Amino acid sequence: MAMQRTAVRRKRREQTEFFFDYSLLFIVLFLLGFGLVMIYSASSYEAFQDFQDASYYLKKQLIAMIIGLVLMIVVANIPYHFWERFAFLGYFVSMALVPLVLTPLGVESHGARRWIRIPGIGLNLQPAEVAKLGMILFLAVMVCKMGKNVRTMKGFFVMLLVPLPVVAEVYLITKNLSSAIIIMGISVLMVFVASPDYKKFIIIGAAGVAAVALLIFLIVSSGGGDGGFRSERILAWLDPEGHSQGKGFQTLQALYAIGSGGIFGKGLGQSMQKLSFLPEAQNDMIFSIICEELGLFGAIAVILMFIMLLWRMMVIANNAEDLFGAMLVVGVMGHIAIQAILNIAVVTNTIPNTGISLPFISYGGSSVMFLLIEIGLVLSVAKHIQLKEL
């Protein structure tokens, strides 16, 4: 009898398998490879003009990508609960890193001081990217600790107040509105999943839309006034042709690129806008180069890849072993979704121009490294999903 029980237990162990999402990994690798091709295509002319090396940006992105892939593999093979103990440390470290941009370690580029130099390895770190990862981890722990209290009015506001200090730092110190919006967007999405009370979010959303509409009305009424470059960007968004020599120049060039691409594009490497017409084409505006060279077909293909990526993450979140794992995946999913939507919206002039990269595709070492670390967390959660044969 004892031998039969032992045989049954052994059979159950054999029937239990752990899940690994190869589809998710393939999509990420495809986006990374495609990103390298598009970065070289979009930046080769400018890189040769500035550095006499057409592959200058490609090489720097490749180094950051290799480091990111190594970190992704390491994180994917560490049980995700290991990081739970570092949630509070990550929150305060991300807050401490942001002011460092004002020290001698700070690096200024294109009038913005948003990076800190890492001595010895020749790479720059963007504290806002650390803050995004830190916020995902911290809020996932907060949701688990608060339990059902997160659904109360007090718990709801506590969860929304937690990210505000980091958001304020990123916006006020680095002048990085897009990253501040993304961090707040990640937080709101995670709170919504933890406490799906539609009334609260409808009221907050309506109030937010009304506030933005009022702000735009005041800026337009005053003709921009002394609102600074952000007011100019809003006016350029509403009338890019009227500001073609100022803040509307980049948007217009991006729209020209999109319009000239047609259905199937001009062909890979055949973009005209990247020839010094569209500034920094390999960064925030790389989607317009994709549209110009690969056309509507290429643009839809990229969007579909992002949809598939988010769908795989949703499957993992729904089948996660526990709430903490599910919230980690929801945070990463929110980060990628919000950033991709905002980037495409900016390029197509759906919203005012603000510097934001296209995940895995745009040039940016810090961005791709921390995105790959987040993918490592998702894969770690996926590995703990058990598949049982009934």
Q: Where are the beta strands (DSSP E) in 120-184?
A: 123-125
The rounded distance, in Å, linking the Cα atoms of 284 and 290 is 12
Q: What pLDDT does 12 receive? A: 46
Q: What pLDDT does 333 receive? A: 96
Q: What pLDDT does 229 receive? A: 65
Whether residue 1 lies inside any domain: the answer is no
Bridging pattern class, strands 112-118 and 123-125 = antiparallel
Contact between 140 and 103 under an 8 Å Cβ cutoff? The reply is: no
The rounded distance, in Å, linking the Cα atoms of 369 and 128 is 13
Whether residue 259 lies inside any domain: the answer is yes
Q: How far is CA 373 from the centre of its chain?
A: 12
Q: What pLDDT does 11 receive? A: 46
> Which pair of tokens denotes residue 317?
């979140």
Which letter does DSSP use for residue 114 in this model?
Answer: E
Q: What pLDDT does 8 receive? A: 42
Mean pLDDT of successive 10-residue segments in the chain (390 residues)? 48 55 92 95 89 90 94 94 91 90 81 78 82 94 87 84 91 88 92 81 84 82 64 78 77 88 88 83 90 93 96 93 93 95 91 86 91 95 73
Q: Which of these, 200, 126, 110, lies nearest to 160 by C-alpha position?
A: 200
The rounded distance, in Å, linking the Cα atoms of 156 and 168 is 19
Contact between 164 and 191 under an 8 Å Cβ cutoff? The reply is: no
Q: Which domain holds residue 143?
A: 19-388
Number of domains present in the structure of the chain: 1
For 196, counting Cβ atoms within 10 Å of its Cβ (0-12 exposed, 13-18 middle, 19+ buried), the class is: exposed
Whether residue 13 lies inside any domain: the answer is no
> Which pair of tokens denotes residue 106?
């700070």
Q: What pLDDT does 388 receive? A: 59
Count of alpha carbons within 13 angstroms of residue 194, beta-carbon side: 36
Q: How far is CA 337 from the centre of its chain?
A: 7
The rounded distance, in Å, linking the Cα atoms of 56 and 355 is 22
Whether residue 3 lies inside any domain: the answer is no
Whether residue 101 lies inside any domain: the answer is yes
Report the predicted TM-score, pTM, of the whole model to 2 decimal places.
0.90
* Residue 126 φ then ψ, to 5°: -100, 110
For residue 377, give the 3-state DSSP assignment. helix
Whether residue 2 lies inside any domain: the answer is no
The rounded distance, in Å, linking the Cα atoms of 352 and 233 is 6
Whether residue 252 lies inside any domain: the answer is yes
Packed helices 87-97 and 127-146: angle between N→C axes, nearest 10 degrees: 150
Contact between 25 and 269 under an 8 Å Cβ cutoff? The reply is: no
Q: Tokens 């593999």 — which residue?
A: 73
Which letter does DSSP use for residue 112 in this model?
Answer: E
